[in-house]
């Protein structure tokens, strides 16, 4: 089975800190994604990547950046954490080729910014 | 923009009941997926189903792409089926997904 591992389950950071959220997948998937999930707003795409060193903005990229130096690892960076970035962050990966683009999600990181 | 709408938003059933969850999308899709989010927040992929019908145990899904909807059927519900069910669509060849708001299913013993 594909495994998508997020480095932390719970994280508490202070306003203004630089925060790194790490995601690693072990099945050689080309595509990787970062979403955030908030009550009443559902899942919203922050950034995604189709290949190493490649990144595309999603629907809510402001305040975030990403890094993909290796195929298996996709990092989300909060340059200067703010309280409105308190959220559940979900990483996912998927293959790029047919017949199945099915996503596999990590278990999530619940980030609290105080 | 592109919309994915799910209904009903909430569903409460007794164990053993059957249920149908619906997903409507505003444009043609070539990537339609159903997920279950358990009470601990883990999202599990149930089906990748851009068209046609698939079955996996007590769960089945049907997508009618020409009419822009998908249905998820759960038969003989169990308490472990509780959680939030999301559908998500990808459009025009893009592999990124737009998620619906989810259906919260509660199965009471």
pLDDT tens-digit map of A46-87: 999 999 989 999 999 999 999 999 999 999 999 999 999 999
Q: Calculate the alpha carbon distances from A20 to A6, A17, A64, A76, B90 in Å.
A: 11, 10, 10, 6, 28
User: Which whole number is the average pLDDT over A26-42?
Assistant: 92
In chain B, what is the straight-line distance between the N-terminal and C-terminal CA atoms, in Å? Answer: 41
Chain A contact for B33, CB < 8 A? Answer: yes
Q: Residues with Cβ < 8 Å from A46, sequence gap 6 or more?
A: A34, A35, A36, A58, A59, A60, A61, A64, A66, A76
Residue-range domain boundaries for chain B: 4-97
Homologous superfamily assigned to B4-97 = Immunoglobulins (2.60.40.10)
Domain ranges of chain A: 4-113
Whether residue A48 and residue B44 make contact (CB cut-off 8 A), yes or no, is: no
Per-residue pLDDT tens digits for B5-40: 999 999 999 999 999 999 999 888 888 999 999 988
Mark yes or no for CB contact B35/A103 under 8 Å.
yes
- Domain A4-113 in CATH 2.60.40.10: yes
């Amino acid at each position: 089975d594909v495994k998508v591992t997020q480095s932390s389950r719970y994280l508490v950071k202070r306003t203004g800190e630089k925060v790194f959220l790490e995601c690693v997948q072990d099945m050689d998937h080309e595509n990787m994604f970062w979403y955030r999930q908030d009550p009443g707003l559902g899942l919203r795409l922050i950034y995604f990547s189709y290949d190493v060193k490649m990144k595309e903005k999603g629907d809510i990229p402001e305040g975030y950046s990403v890094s993909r130096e290796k195929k298996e690892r996709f990092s989300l960076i909060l340059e200067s954490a703010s309280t409105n970035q308190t959220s559940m962050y979900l990483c996912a990966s998927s293959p790029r080729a047919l017949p199945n683009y099915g996503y596999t999600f990590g278990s999530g990181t619940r980030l609290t910014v105080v | 923009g592109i919309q994915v709408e799910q209904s009903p938003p909430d569903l409460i059933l007794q164990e053993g009941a059957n249920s149908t969850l619906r997903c409507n999308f505003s444009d043609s899709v070539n990537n339609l997926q159903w997920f279950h989010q358990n009470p601990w927040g883990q999202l599990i992929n149930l089906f990748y189903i851009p068209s046609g019908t698939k079955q996996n145990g007590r769960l089945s899904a049907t997508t009618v792409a020409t009419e822009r909807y998908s249905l998820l059927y759960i038969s003989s519900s169990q308490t472990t089926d509780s959680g939030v069910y999301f559908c998500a669509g990808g459009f025009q060849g893009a592999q990124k997904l737009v998620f619906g708001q989810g259906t919260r299913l509660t199965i009471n013993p």
